[in-house]
Chain A
């Protein structure tokens, strides 16, 4: 092993390893895998928001060309009700188990046929009748069904005397902020192909964590975990929407079992909207009290959001409120309202995206009322330790992000009064937001094998959603083994490799890198084993208790046409403190992508429900707008020096932080341009239009 020539790969900007495959069409995604003797499944979704299936007239489609059969609640395999997700048992997984319809868009049947066209035609022709029941799909704070959320994380906080501090405050902001249902909308619709190989259930599935998905699938089908294998090569984006064991996989497994051949189920775009997961709508109240000089006395953040009775879920809207600013009194609470809706689940920057919109809008309102530069307001309330926990921060470079961002953006020349700048018919405004997103790692296993040809096979059940995990982990493995990246053979995206955290919670790279680094240390250790497997569970438990977060500051400039209400983002700049950056090229792409997600959230995204039927009516890309090329300006993003002590390579996640704060920065800029606050997203033109 020659180590003399080794040059570190971590920290170097390199194009993606799979770049060539992705620009030539060679990269295979779940629906691209050639599988012989394939049959195709097409879903049938409930068209009522609550009720029971009265009848599914299977006989009327059974003789249609190519149809192999229909699976519904009368003949589906019985699933294990104990199967769940991160938050506990999940009734959303229990498809086709009974005639109950808990929400519109619930899969109620799968039609399987020889070709996709035949399956779809029969699914469309399948007559279904319902017994409809009254439904409730409307979220609002104070809803009688509201109750406290689970406290697994973002538990309620109450330090100091919020009411007394508010009463003693010179200035108080007390406002409500609302965010709508949003959809992850990865460009790749969920697709799964399942088949049996002997007594083992095999599946190719687009998901964010093959080990956890396989484990859930095994539980659902009453199988020992080793008899279920889930893998995939490339994943066309996830953003949270592919975290759970999706309906495509459950139904494909059912169909493969029933028809004894490989079955592919690829969701339509409408089905992705209606039957996978969504970010819940939120209704948040924020009260902030401050002295006349802008020093905070109290923050009270009450966030209400919707869930489904089928499953628990935590939209941790108040995490930032316990992190960003020093105040003698802080109170937070999460209230859930069970409604007849698709179960919400994590979407990029869960909790932090809607939570930061509320908190950072409120901070901007406070700056306005105190008469202070919004930047100065943040700097003036910088905490020394965790404002609620009292724990030290592992590292905290928010001030560096704010100051450097302000310098690059030219913030110093800003006139803080609203409606002072014009460009032709446009009103111009700027705004900022400070952000944080919690960071950490979860247990994972990695195996490294020294091959006879001098290469190293590095196996970990990670998933590369487009984050660059392949490239980053290859660099980490190379440096950990002190060899060139050309000697690393990385194997990921296969549940058979062993337990590993999925790509989610901004914890993928840190979790996986930890396991790889430890395995590499063993390989290089005194015993020089040919192969080494490491499980990091114990190591993670030894990590010191700290406030661990990534931080950033986002600056936006908008142009608003008051005659039409059109808002366009002219400039967007983000400075990030995300620990050590493994690959600046990819990390920059990822935070810019997050900021574009935030822009899209600010201006476009909204699941619209029919007020009478409670059904979504914009379940496609013509109705549910995500930002297009023309909506997105050139974006500047960069990193301040940062580290994460105690975590190998000093990694913090970059997956979510880009998305946090951008909506607030844009909303604040719209206020600065127009003088009108936008407390509800998206900032649609009818909300801005001036008569």
Chain B
């Protein structure tokens, strides 16, 4: 039985060759093998969102993604959000509006917010969207929508209101780019 594989992982536009134990999650590969410690391990069970990264542009929890299963995907971590050292608007808004305290959930909140805004731009409804029909007008992205869509990212410090402000402000100012 082969329990290890050599794979290519493409992270933040850089391709890495790695020989990995199949048990290694994408989260652990990012952190332990590639030194991308931005994604955090809060629960390792998909129950907190601190490990959220973008996989082909979609937000996923990297703790339940096996690294070997992520081969071939474009992975973006929090380290890849700020191109050329310039903070993205959502990052700048988090700092200015104090969208975090301890910061441990922050990289997950940021990646989740970027993914969420793209989902929203694609017209995806949410559990609080009054009418999911595709034929009606697209409802406004209000605080209730942001809260529901961001609920997969727990924050124990209680930075939720500031995070919601930062996301709403960014969405209003910068559209979908986050």
Contacts and interface: CB of A to CB of B under 8 A. Distances in A.
**Do A's and B's CB atoms come within 8 Å in the complex?**
yes
Interface of A: 15-16, 18-29, 31-32, 34, 115-117, 121, 185-189, 234-237, 239, 266, 268-269, 465-468, 585-586, 588-590, 592-597, 620-622, 626-630, 632-635
A31 B102 CA distance: 15
* Residue with the highest number of chain B CB atoms closer than 10 Å, among A116, A585, A634: A116
Given A20-B87, A466-B101, A626-B156, A32 B37 contact: yes
Contact of B154 (A32, A628, A634): A628
Contacts of B150: 629
Interface residues of B, number: 61
A87 to B, nearest CB: 25
B124 to A, nearest CB: 17
Contacts of A234: 102-103
B164 A629 contact: yes
Interface stretch (B77-85, B132-140, B169-177): B77-85
B159 A25 contact: no
B110 A29 contact: no
Given A586-B98, A626-B154, A23 B106 contact: yes
A117 B96 contact: no
Given A32-B31, A620-B47, A187 B105 contact: yes
A595 B162 CA distance: 14
B102 A466 contact: yes
Contact of A185 (B37, B110, B156): B156
Contacts of B164: 629, 634
A116 B28 contact: yes
B102 A269 contact: no
Nearest to A118: B21
Interface of B: 21, 23-24, 28, 31-32, 35-45, 47-48, 50, 77-79, 81-82, 87, 91, 94-96, 98, 100-107, 110, 128, 143-144, 146-148, 150-164
B84 to A, nearest CB: 12
A266 B41 contact: yes
A302 B107 CA distance: 45
Contact of B95 (A15, A586, A597): A15
A187 B40 contact: yes
Nearest to B43: A269
Which 6 residue pairs spanning A and B have beta carbons closest together? A25-B38, A466-B102, A236-B104, A593-B158, A596-B158, A22-B103
A116 B79 CA distance: 23
A121 B50 CA distance: 23
Most B Cβ at <10 Å: residue of A25, A31, A589, A597: A25
Nearest to A598: B158
B45 A622 contact: yes
Nearest to A268: B44
B91 A23 contact: yes
B14 to A, nearest CB: 15
A15 B98 contact: yes
Nearest to B77: A25
B156 A25 contact: no
A466 B98 contact: no
Given A236-B104, A466-B102, A24 B158 contact: no
A628 B151 contact: yes
27 contacts: A18-B103, A20-B95, A23-B91, A23-B110, A27-B103, A115-B21, A117-B23, A117-B24, A187-B50, A187-B104, A187-B105, A236-B42, A236-B104, A237-B157, A266-B41, A269-B42, A269-B47, A586-B98, A589-B162, A590-B101, A595-B158, A596-B160, A621-B154, A622-B47, A629-B163, A630-B147, A630-B148
A628 B150 CA distance: 8
B44 A269 contact: yes
B155 A187 contact: yes
A593 B101 contact: yes
A237 B104 contact: yes
A23 B78 contact: yes
Given A16-B98, A23-B78, A586-B101, 14 more contacts: A20-B87, A20-B95, A24-B79, A25-B39, A25-B77, A26-B79, A27-B103, A236-B40, A593-B101, A621-B48, A627-B160, A630-B144, A632-B147, A633-B161
B23 to A, nearest CB: 4
A588 B28 CA distance: 35
A565 B140 CA distance: 29
A466 B103 contact: yes
A263 to B, nearest CB: 15
A116 B105 CA distance: 22
Given A629-B147, A629-B151, A31 B104 contact: no
Contact of A634 (B95, B101, B143, B159): B143
B153 to A, nearest CB: 7
B151 A187 contact: no
A593 B157 contact: yes
Contacts of B155: 187, 629
Contact of B81 (A24, A586, A589): A24
A22 B166 CA distance: 15
A185 to B, nearest CB: 6
B21 A117 contact: yes
A437 B10 CA distance: 51
Contacts of B98: 15-16, 585-586, 588-589
B169 to A, nearest CB: 13
A593 B160 CA distance: 8
B161 A634 contact: yes
A234 B155 CA distance: 16
A187 B101 contact: no
A235 B78 contact: no
Contacts of B106: 22-23
A19 to B, nearest CB: 4
Contacts of A15: 95-96, 98
A468 B101 contact: yes
Of listed B36, B103, B161, residue having the most chain A CB within 10 A: B103
Contact of A24 (B91, B143, B146): B91
Nearest to A34: B35
A592 B158 contact: yes
Nearest to A236: B104
B102 to A, nearest CB: 3
A266 B78 CA distance: 22
B153 A629 contact: yes
A467 B144 CA distance: 27
